Amino acid sequence: MLLLEAGRVIPVSRLVEAGWDEAPPESAAHQIRKAVAELRRRIPQGFELIVTDGPGYRAVVGVDQLDLLRYQELLRQAHAAGEAGAHARAAEQLRSALELWRGPLLAGAGGQVVDAISTALEEQSLAAAERLYELTIEAGEAASIIGELRSMAGRYPLRETLRSQLMLALYHTGQQAAALEEFTQIRDLLAEELGIDPSAKLRELHAYMLRQDLSLAPPERAPARAYGASFEVPQALPYDMPDFSGRASELERIRAAVERTPTRSPTVIAIDGMGGGGKTALAVRAAHQLAQRYPDGQLFVDLRGFTPGQRPLSTFSAQGDLLAAAGIPSEEIPGVPAGRSALWQSYMRGRRMLLILDNADTSERVRTLIPTSPDSLTLVTSRPRLTDLDGVEWLSVGALPESDSHEILRHTLGAERVEREPEAAVELLRLCGGLPLAVRIAAARLSNRPRWTIQRLVDRLQDHGRRLDELSGEDRGVASALSLSYESLPKDQRTAFRLLAHHPGRYIDIDEAAALLGVGALDTEDLLERLVDVRLLDAREPGTYAFHDLVRHFARRLAQGQAAPEDGQSVERLLDHYLHTAAHACDTLFPGRPRHSGSVGERDGQEPEFEGKDVALRWLDQHRDSLLAAVDIAHGRGLLRHAARLPREVGFHSSIRSYDLDANVALETGVTASRQLADPSLLRLNLTNLAMGQWRLGRIRDAVAHLEEALELSRSMNDPRSEAECKARLGQAYNSLGELRRALQLSEEANRMARKTGFARLDGSSLSTLSQVQVRLGQFAVAAETAKEALTVFDSIGELQLSVDALSYLSRALEGMGRYEEALARVEEAVERCEHLRMPSVLPAMLACRTDILLRMGRVENARECVLHALAEAIRSTDDIHRALVHLSAARTYFALGDFTEALRQNQLAHEVSSRMELHYEKAQALDGLATTSEAMGDLEAAASNRRKADSHFFLMGVPEAVFRYARGDGSQEDRYA
């Protein structure tokens, strides 16, 4: 694990997870430390190789010591070379990287964590090989890789990219019949193995080959464009930086704008972007590339719009500087504005010249400097967009891509130094946020401190309070560049910028900004757009804005240093907005849920409008991270009502989107705030929601403990609705624990109380849980009616989320009654609703249910496709409560396919998961599956042992023997009603 992520800190908890998957012993952390100590003792210089760092350990190795690091560096170099158009170099580096590959990485029983890493690296190597073959074919060298391609296609017979490359290689070498035969082979194989046709892309390639389409010929490369070296005076351009990197698309846009300008027309291109974004460097690079188009000369003037310690250059002075640079004697340059302006335009008339007006602050500053004569090119750079200029081609400069920033670093520090610390270099560039000024300052600091490692500067930059100081040089810095933009703002815009720094998330919408600023939406939008104009804010999709990372640090430093009384009011308004809007979003999304007293956050009696569930869910999705952060902010500022109320909305949203690890932290804060408020109603609310988050993560005993406390609080408050809700959730938890009779009793009591109090949502959800318990007890006909009743309730209030479970339980009941077509229809409806709402925690269970019904119907291949989807979704989901169900369905599927080894493994996984979480019903099913599979494999002793254990578990839960006999295929449908 340390070598797989060399140079990174691997926490002890991660090593425990890798070593024991999901069932570590209590001594796991101690065993890890003991193993590290032993490794250090046995490996030469072990204490230098494995260092303790914060919460874990880090392997200190270089590229020359670890082939994986060398391999990854070669892949990065190949990508950079490909981006730069150096395809031969890219192919060479890809070949060198793949020569380091020794076959399946970490093959064997490495556990889930290691297996996942191994799979990812295997996929990376396949992608690299495919890219190498693509470059080789494009270079006209297809014949050299046919043998290698055949071998790879044999190892990965279903990988269509490899097969299409083999077809192309054969076709390019005159083997058309062989190429067409390869298509026939993969078409037949896909049909046989997966029941699908080749992709549209592969079919299209086949069709082109059949008609010998000319587009399949190897592409011809255009010769590099050569520019003449003759220049005429004046030649006043600054030097072109030798380490200029990237901006290929921006340079292409400038060239395209020049080429499409009509003959005898001037071209004006205005380049804007935040301070330090590399606008001047881009303009100078473009000017040098285009210089030969303008044989009458090139001029440059710095208008000093944002230069520290200097006033902007007046138009009058700028015209004088330009005329002097053009060679006009000083005595001939008029001393009055009108005369000087006329001479400047007169000089430019009839000349094909290129002009750079750099660092402009206003449109007025540059308007009379732009030549009126045709056939000239003027490049204007500015921080704000100069919107008052007419007839201008606009070009905004954003952050540099990582590969371009990487080239700046390599050029300044040298490739060897960067390659010694590849991960630290990537992190350094991330911290610089793609801002060229920040990258250059960081590179210069390291260049002037040869004893520093890159990691040392990274560590210094990770201190949020110091980052801007670290990115400062002798006469330039990110903070000073941003400060100039900030100080140029009017007072109201400076105040707005400072208040926006209190926003907790990455993206800011107009409503959030309006809450922070305390003004209306239209005025807020005007202020935000002005900040966009001066590049202190980025405009995203309509109505959404964002700070660049370094600008955010600058804004937060300002907010801390210039704190004012209105700051607290601003934050409280934002928290009011979050609570009020999130509550209405959840009310829209979860109809029938109870409202709670003690509300905060009402603003002027206006309620947010959500046009349907999709809009409400989208708002919650977009604001999830901000809502989570807002809980901590509220608690930290002592706004306990907000801290106690917001977590409820987070928990409801998480029930769909499955981020319970984060949501539970917020709910625990809500519990703490509720206790501090001594508010039993809020405490009961947060305990209940926290319990359900823990249930979805498989922490069922913790959930029960919190629900029992919540139940006592409900009784002490004489709140029958809350008491009913706690009983319903306890019924759900005890059902998971296999205490079916208790779950049945609690669900029935909850349902009676919900109906008595008119709590329709709970009426439906308690019926839904009740139907699952009845299915497990073999009461299939009763369960079907109960589930239908639940669906009727949900339909009456427009509830979709909870109806998904009810549909699946109805499907299970119909399956138990042998009505498979109806069962399949109901579960497919559940899957459709689940996918519509994008419910990652529930979808695997729905797919598992569908798999089981398909198996009952004898549609084994369809079941296989479905369960593979379920397994993939289960891996992506952070919730564990349904994972055992998926493994059980997978085991049944592989058993039906005759793959007893995989069926045994899936049953073992189901047994491990269900044992850890005390899911006794699923554990009994896993034991039963292990027995059936062991019997099929001839291990009769293991089969008998597991069968006894399974029967014992079923008996203790009160599951009738006929039910689980039918589940394993031993009994008839009539047996279940005996």
Which position has the higher pLDDT, 555 or 712? 712
Which DSSP state fits 312?
Answer: P
Cα–Cα nearest to 355, from 378, 339, 332: 378
Q: What is the mean pLDDT of residues 531-537?
A: 84
The helix (run of H) or strand (run of E) holding residue 630 is helix 613-636
The helix (run of H) or strand (run of E) holding residue 302 is strand 298-302
Q: Which two tokens stand for residue 188?
A: 């037949």
pLDDT in the model for residue 881: 85
C-alpha–C-alpha distance, residues 391 and 359, integer Å: 20
The helix (run of H) or strand (run of E) holding residue 757 is helix 740-757
Mutual angle of helices 146-155 and 111-138, in 10-degree steps: 150
At 709-760, the pLDDT tens digits run 999 999 999 999 999 999 999 999 999 999 999 999 999 999 999 999 999 9
Residue 36 identity (one-letter amino acid): V
Residue 242 CB burial class (10 angstroms; 0-12, 13-18, ≥19): exposed
pLDDT in the model for residue 619: 93
CB neighbours of residue 42 within 10 Å = 8
Three-class SS state of 223: coil
**Neighbouring residues of 803: CB distance < 8 A, sequence distance ≥ 6:** 764, 790, 791, 794, 795, 830, 833
Name the range with the highest mean pLDDT among 209-218, 364-373, 444-453, 698-707.
698-707
C-alpha–C-alpha distance, residues 313 and 315, integer Å: 7
Cα–Cα nearest to 776, from 946, 966, 512, 562: 966
Q: Checking DSSP bridges between strand 377-382 and strand 354-360, what pairing results, if any?
A: parallel
Average pLDDT, the chain: 86
Name the range with the highest mean pLDDT among 320-334, 358-372, 587-601, 731-745.
731-745
The helix (run of H) or strand (run of E) holding residue 34 is helix 28-42
Residue 973 identity (one-letter amino acid): Q
At 260-319, the pLDDT tens digits run 876 666 889 999 888 888 888 899 999 998 988 888 888 998 888 887 667 888 888 888
Q: In degrees rounded to 5, what are phi and psi of residue 870?
A: -60, -45
The helix (run of H) or strand (run of E) holding residue 763 is helix 760-776
C-alpha–C-alpha distance, residues 467 and 716, integer Å: 53
pTM for the predicted model, two decimal places:
0.63
pLDDT in the model for residue 975: 34
C-alpha–C-alpha distance, residues 858 and 851, integer Å: 11
**Neighbouring residues of 389: CB distance < 8 A, sequence distance ≥ 6:** 268, 270, 363, 366, 367, 370, 380
User: Contact 434/400 with Cβ under 8 angstroms?
Assistant: yes
C-alpha–C-alpha distance, residues 632 and 179, integer Å: 62
Residue 429 identity (one-letter amino acid): L
pLDDT in the model for residue 484: 77
The helix (run of H) or strand (run of E) holding residue 53 is strand 50-53
Q: Which two tokens stand for residue 312?
A: 């902007």
When mean pLDDT is compared across 119-128, 280-289, 626-635, 708-717, the lowest value belongs to 119-128
Which DSSP state fits 78?
Answer: H
Cα–Cα nearest to 4, from 63, 81, 82, 59: 59
User: Contact 755/737 with Cβ under 8 angstroms?
Assistant: no
Whether residue 948 is predicted with pLDDT greater than 80 in this model: the reply is yes
**Neighbouring residues of 343: CB distance < 8 A, sequence distance ≥ 6:** 319, 323, 328, 332, 333, 334
Q: Which two tokens stand for residue 949?
A: 């254990």
Q: What is the mean pLDDT of residues 396-419?
A: 83
pLDDT in the model for residue 368: 87
Three-class SS state of 51: strand
Rounded CA Rg of the chain? 34
Whether residue 517 is predicted with pLDDT greater than 60 in this model: the reply is yes
Name the range with the highest mean pLDDT among 173-177, 220-224, 960-964.
173-177
pLDDT in the model for residue 931: 94
